[in-house]
Structure formats: C-alpha cells, structure tokens
Chains A and B, each alone.
Chain A
C-alpha cells in the first residue's frame, strides 16, 4: 500500500485493550484520512446525546495519506471528539511534527476510548504500544511533561501529544498540544482527553511512507517549493508570523477591540508582527516539511514579565487576551497572557472570549464583584486577566464558572438573553478575533455555517476574500469573478464559501497546512491532487477530491441535525448584524457596516442542497454522497425539528 499506513490503532483505557484495525481501500477512498476518518468515527460511535466526558466517548487523532512526505507542510493532525464546549461535533487541527511521527510509527489514526483508573500516557514505539503511569506528570505544563517523558524514555527525538492542567480539570475549552507549543485549540478536545485520565501520547516511528511514484512526487514538490519562494503570503507569514495581520485588521476594521465593540484602535501597532519582530522575537519556527515557517518563539525582555519565553503567539492566540479584553498599551502583557494560556493548556480564543464577555457583563451591570469574588472586571485590567487565566484552568472561584464556556457561564449566572448577547458565539463556540463586518462577508457566512460551531480561520477559511487580491485572476478562475476578493460585499460569497469549505475539508483529510493552500494560494487544488496521486499511485480527480470534502461536511452537519440543530441555529452573534461598525481610527475602511447574513444564506443552502425549512442536508444530497444511512437517521428528525415545541427551545449549546 502506498501513502497510507493502512491501520487504525484503538486504545481502550478502561480495559487496557489495544487493537489494530485495517483500513480498507474503499474506506480510504471514501474518507481520505485525518478529519474524514475522525468524523466517520464520531458519527458512528459517539451517540449525539452522550456526555462528552462519558468514558464511552471517543477522541480521535488522524493523519492523512501524504502525512510525513515532502509535500508542503505534512505534519498536521486533526483531533476530534464530541465537544464538551458546544455539545456538538468538535474538532481541531494542529501543526508540529507529531503527525509525521505517527505515520512513521505505522498508523493513520488513533481512537482512544474508556477511562484509565489513574493518570496514564500512551507510548507508541512503532508497533509496540503500551499504557504507562503518568501520575507524576499530572498537573505539569506541557513543556515540563514533554521533557520528563523524554528523559524517562531516554530519547530526545520523540514527538508527543500532551494536555495541560486545564485538560486534566476538564475545562470545556482545554486544548491539545504537540511538540509543546503547537495547539489544536478549539472545541475542548483537551478536556475530553483529560476526562480519560490521559496525559499524552509519546511516539517514536522508524518507518517511512511508501511513495508510488517518487519521480512525479519529487517533480511536483520541487515545483511547488519554487513557487513558494516568491509567494506574497508566504513572505508575510514567514517574516512576521500571522501577527502580520494586525495592521491589516486594524485598517479594515476587524480587529476585535473590547469584545467587538470596535474594530480598530490607534494602538494596534503595539502588537503588530513588525513590532513583535523588533522587540521580543527570539527565533522563527516551522512545522514538519513546511516551506512557510510562520511559527514564532518569543522572549520577553523588559517589564514585569521579563525572562518569560514561549512558542508563539499567532494572531488568533494574541488578540483574545489582548485587545479583545481591552489590553493594548503594553504588548508584554499580551505576550504574557498568551504564554499563560499555552502553559495551562487552554484555547486562547475561548479564554479571551469568555473573559471579555464577563467584562462586558460587568460593564453593563449584569454582574458585580459579588459574583466575581471581588475581581474588578474592568476592560484592560491586566492584573485581573493574569489572575483569571490560572483560576479558569484550575476551576477556582469565578474561574470555575468561566471554565464552562461563555454560554453555560451566562446560564449559571442567570443572565438571560442579554447575557448571551455578549458571548459572541455560534452553536456555543466563540468566534475568533475576526469581525465579519470587516474581515469579510464570506467569513461571516462560514462562521454561521461552521460544522464545529462558531468556527474560525483554520476551519472554513474563505481566504479568496482575504488574500485573493494578491493573486490576480484566481477569483476569476474559480468563481468567474474578481469582485468577491473584496471583503465587504455579498457578491459571489455563497459560491465562494461552498467551494472553499469543500477544498479546505479535503485539505484537512490530507493533513496539510491550510496556510499553504488558503491564505497563500501557492498550492491549488490541482497541485494537491497531483501530489496525492504521486504518493498513493491512485487516480483521484479534482471532482472526487472536492466531493470527499462535501461528503464530510454533510456528515458533520448531520451530527448537529441529530441534536436538533439546523436552520434556526445558522446565525452569527447579533452584534454583527445589528450594530453598525464604529470608527476606531481615521483610516478605517468599514465604518457603519453591518453584516447581511440572511442575504447570502438562502443561496448557500441551494449550493449545499440543504432543506430550506430545517437546514438539514437533503435526502437527495446524502444519497448522492453515498450517505444513505445518514439519510435514514435524519428522516424522522425533519418534522420534529419543525414542530412548535422545538421552535420554542433556545439552544445556545447542546
């Protein structure tokens, strides 16, 4: 077999049973790898109403057919579970080197189920797999546990997946790391791993990936690496990291100032990639086989956090516990907060989002120091943010309420609809630091339609509107029109989102980094198909490639449908559709803009062939995609969703 390792590793932590299951040709062709394999397992093995922390729940780690090869950036891993944050379908994707190592050890996927009696970690040494005691690692930061495991196993070169203290404490938005700093941030995968008493998975792989056509593979990889040399997005990402977006976001008004009360601020440059590079950048880093190298390593030199070091931050890691909570004056506070969320192992986006929602509740008088245990949640209060991050991770005091995520916290505090207005979530997950009133209407549409909730830049990514203008002719080639490369327009956006979601999903099955094929468009779909075929020796067509993405999106959407989540929940937070964008700086381009979701939604449904009333995938579409069993599952639910009793329910999470 070429490309794939051809087997799934299944570990039951309750019984200690370890099994290896072959992955058939038909299965691989239908689901491709990574995200596809994982979504299939969650749909079939995790009943939609099961508590995500129940030992019977699964957590999956998937790599793809090109993982570990010389194609651009093939080290990524998708982590999938039923999300403890949203209660719905959840996954997240991380860079690093662990994905390649897993493949070299001989696996395409790991499925973990059950719960160990005491904390453990899994040690995979090629085909030797064991469950080892991790009681001494419990409570450690990932960087500490990584070092301890390496010493214990006597090998500095192994790679591993780990969680931090937040995951152990089942914080609903705890994340999963590999290579210490590369996070699968979203949907709370770390909490599910922690609920299984699993600290991590250390891996050593000494195998290779068999390539069907090495000459063709070498040719396409060499050609693509040449293209990257002059690629405009690659250059920006490499030199300044994703913080290169700060000044762009500020100009175009999608900088998330104070929980999206504003979209631009005169001090934004304090935390720009340019400033970071001049002041605290220690060195640049890249994930496995990556021609871009957007990773940063930060060393704070001055002020009260002087001497702190960590991997990162990225744009989406820095803005939530920075401008989103009103901190912008001293960028060292922002870098410090990012370091804290990393060490404790929490999604930076959700951490900043829930703190900023609490700050707005406090500002509007919905909560007082009585509820917060004396914390004065004023915008920009770094002292409070510095205290709250560890309190959330360890579920102490007011932190224990916020550890539940914004919408559950609003309910626990009894804040009603007004409380939920400020949580800035869709289907229970916080939107990232990108205001659709400025970043773009395509992004906004994909936030509403994300199959893991309020989604983000790494999931749905309709970057043809973000960076399309840097690639003249590209929007025309795909969409037939250059105008959709403008962010604040509905023109061409329903088709753009349909196309890009399909492509991005299959990209997540290959487990390559979307920055190489969205954001940067150095690698286009035909190039992906070319290297996929060179590796596997099969003859995938571009249509088949895109169709696999469409199949997975429909399966994930169906998971939500089984939870009675459909058209009524396809929304973005009302702040974006009701409040015109205020002016933050005089050069801001989007003053007065509101986001017109409903104009695009109907058309998008038509592309997807979603039923207009329920928003569920139509029976016709499911059958076309070979998902007849899913069509059967949804058949009795269609009328239920439209019933008066269902219509009355307010669903912020599941």
Chain B
C-alpha cells in the first residue's frame, strides 16, 4: 500500500516549505519514529531519502531520482 495518496502527494508537492510537514506526516503514519524525524531535520533531505530506501519504502532508482530531482519526485514515489 502506498504511503501517500495522489492528492496528498500533490499537496506536499505544492508546498513552499515541505520538510517539517512531510516528516510530521511520516511520523504520524509510523513510517519514521521520533529519533529518525529528528535526525532528518538535523541532517537534511538526503537522510530522509536514504532512510526511506533503507526501509524499502522507495526503490534505489526512485531514491536516485529523488536526489536528482528533489522532493516532488520523492512524494510522488511515495504515492505509487
């Protein structure tokens, strides 16, 4: 089952500043815990992508694409 609905992904993709909201959302869904949430905010986007790939929430290809294209690519991958 996908982590985000298409509508949610679109909503995130349209945000001006998505990082905190996305991390809060992933935490509320149990995808990340409080420790990882904190780690991501301290280290940045690459930590989020690495973790989601590690947890197999996204594939290696999607992770690579997210690091190239940014968070919109990531949120749509999470809606697949």
Point out residues on A near B: beta carbons under 8 Å: 473, 476-482, 490-495, 498-499, 502, 525, 542-543, 546-547, 550, 600, 603, 606-607
Q: How far is the CB of B4 from chain A (nearest CB, A)?
A: 15
A502:B42 contact, CB within 8 angstroms: yes
CB neighbours of A491 from chain B (8 A): 16-17
CB neighbours of B66 from chain A (8 A): 480
A542:B43 contact, CB within 8 angstroms: yes
CB neighbours of B41 from chain A (8 A): 498, 607
Q: How far is the CB of B52 from chain A (nearest CB, A)?
A: 12
Q: Does B2 contact A (CB under 8 A)?
A: no
Query: Interface with A: B25-33, B55-63, B68-76, which one?
Result: B68-76
CB neighbours of B19 from chain A (8 A): 479-480, 495
Q: Does B5 contact A (CB under 8 A)?
A: no
CA distance A4 to B71 in the complex (A): 40
Q: Which of B16, B38, B42, B70 interacts with A480 by CB under 8 Å? A: B70
Q: Which of B16, B38, B68, B71 interacts with A473 by CB under 8 Å? A: B68
A494:B17 contact, CB within 8 angstroms: yes
Q: A491-B17, A493-B17, A495-B19 are in contact. Are A480 and B45 (CB under 8 A)?
A: yes
Q: Does B39 contact A (CB under 8 A)?
A: yes
CB neighbours of B74 from chain A (8 A): 480
B67:A476 contact, CB within 8 angstroms: yes
A490:B42 contact, CB within 8 angstroms: no
B38:A478 contact, CB within 8 angstroms: no
A478:B44 contact, CB within 8 angstroms: yes
Q: Does B46 contact A (CB under 8 A)?
A: yes
CB neighbours of B44 from chain A (8 A): 477-480, 499
A546:B17 contact, CB within 8 angstroms: no
Q: How far is the CB of B29 from chain A (nearest CB, A)?
A: 18
Point out residues on B near A: beta carbons under 8 Å: 16-20, 38-39, 41-46, 48, 66-71, 74
A-B pairs, 5 with minimum CB distance: A480-B45, A480-B71, A478-B44, A546-B42, A495-B19
**CB closest chain-B residue, reference A495:** B19
Q: A476-B70, A481-B71, A543-B38 are in contact. Are A495 and B20 (CB under 8 A)?
A: yes
Chosen A-B contacts, 7 in total, with CB atoms closer than 8 Å, are A476-B68, A479-B44, A480-B45, A482-B70, A490-B17, A492-B17, A543-B38
**CB closest chain-A residue, reference B44:** A478
**CB closest chain-A residue, reference B72:** A481
**CB closest chain-A residue, reference B43:** A542
**CB closest chain-B residue, reference A490:** B16
| 17 more A-B residue pairs beyond the given contacts A480-B18, A495-B19, A542-B42, with a C-beta to C-beta distance below 8 A | A476-B67, A476-B69, A477-B46, A477-B67, A479-B44, A479-B45, A480-B45, A480-B66, A481-B71, A491-B16, A494-B17, A495-B17, A499-B44, A525-B43, A546-B42, A603-B17, A603-B20
Q: How far is the CB of A379 from chain B (nearest CB, A)?
A: 38
Q: Is the interface of A mostly helix, strand, loop or mixed?
A: helix
CA distance A594 to B48 in the complex (A): 34
Q: How far is the CB of A491 from chain B (nearest CB, A)?
A: 5
CB neighbours of B20 from chain A (8 A): 495, 603, 606-607
Q: How far is the CB of A624 from chain B (nearest CB, A)?
A: 8
**CB closest chain-B residue, reference A624:** B38
CB neighbours of B48 from chain A (8 A): 480
CB neighbours of B46 from chain A (8 A): 477-478
A481:B70 contact, CB within 8 angstroms: yes
Q: How many inter-chain residue pairs (CB < 8 Å) link A and B?
A: 62
Q: Which of A479, A550, A603, A606 interacts with B42 by CB under 8 Å? A: A550
Q: How far is the CB of A83 from chain B (nearest CB, A)?
A: 29
CA distance A397 to B26 in the complex (A): 63
CA distance A188 to B60 in the complex (A): 53
CA distance A522 to B33 in the complex (A): 33
CA distance A509 to B46 in the complex (A): 25
CB neighbours of B68 from chain A (8 A): 473, 476
Among B42, B69, B70, the most chain A Cβ lie within 10 Å of the Cβ of B42
CB neighbours of A546 from chain B (8 A): 42-43
B45:A476 contact, CB within 8 angstroms: yes
CA distance A482 to B19 in the complex (A): 14
**CB closest chain-B residue, reference A600:** B17
Among B18, B43, B71, the most chain A Cβ lie within 10 Å of the Cβ of B43
CB neighbours of A542 from chain B (8 A): 42-43
Q: How far is the CB of A119 from chain B (nearest CB, A)?
A: 46
Among A473, A476, A478, A480, the most chain B Cβ lie within 10 Å of the Cβ of A480
**CB closest chain-B residue, reference A547:** B42
**CB closest chain-A residue, reference B18:** A480
CA distance A479 to B17 in the complex (A): 9
CA distance A479 to B22 in the complex (A): 12
Q: How far is the CB of B10 from chain A (nearest CB, A)?
A: 16
CA distance A480 to B19 in the complex (A): 8
CA distance A502 to B18 in the complex (A): 19
Q: How far is the CB of A231 from chain B (nearest CB, A)?
A: 21
CA distance A523 to B45 in the complex (A): 18
CA distance A547 to B39 in the complex (A): 9
Among B19, B39, B71, B74, the most chain A Cβ lie within 10 Å of the Cβ of B19
CB neighbours of B43 from chain A (8 A): 525, 542-543, 546
Q: How far is the CB of A263 from chain B (nearest CB, A)?
A: 24
CB neighbours of A498 from chain B (8 A): 41
CB neighbours of B18 from chain A (8 A): 480-481
CB neighbours of A476 from chain B (8 A): 45, 67-70
CB neighbours of B70 from chain A (8 A): 476, 480-482
**CB closest chain-B residue, reference A494:** B17
Q: How far is the CB of A652 from chain B (nearest CB, A)?
A: 31
Q: How far is the CB of B33 from chain A (nearest CB, A)?
A: 14
CA distance A523 to B62 in the complex (A): 27
A543:B39 contact, CB within 8 angstroms: yes
Q: How far is the CB of A309 from chain B (nearest CB, A)?
A: 45
Q: How far is the CB of B11 from chain A (nearest CB, A)?
A: 15
CB neighbours of A499 from chain B (8 A): 44
CB neighbours of A493 from chain B (8 A): 17
Q: How far is the CB of B6 from chain A (nearest CB, A)?
A: 19
CB neighbours of A477 from chain B (8 A): 44-46, 67
Q: How far is the CB of B9 from chain A (nearest CB, A)?
A: 14
CA distance A607 to B38 in the complex (A): 10
CB neighbours of A502 from chain B (8 A): 42
Q: How far is the CB of A107 from chain B (nearest CB, A)?
A: 30
CB neighbours of A490 from chain B (8 A): 16-17
**CB closest chain-A residue, reference B22:** A480
CA distance A459 to B39 in the complex (A): 24
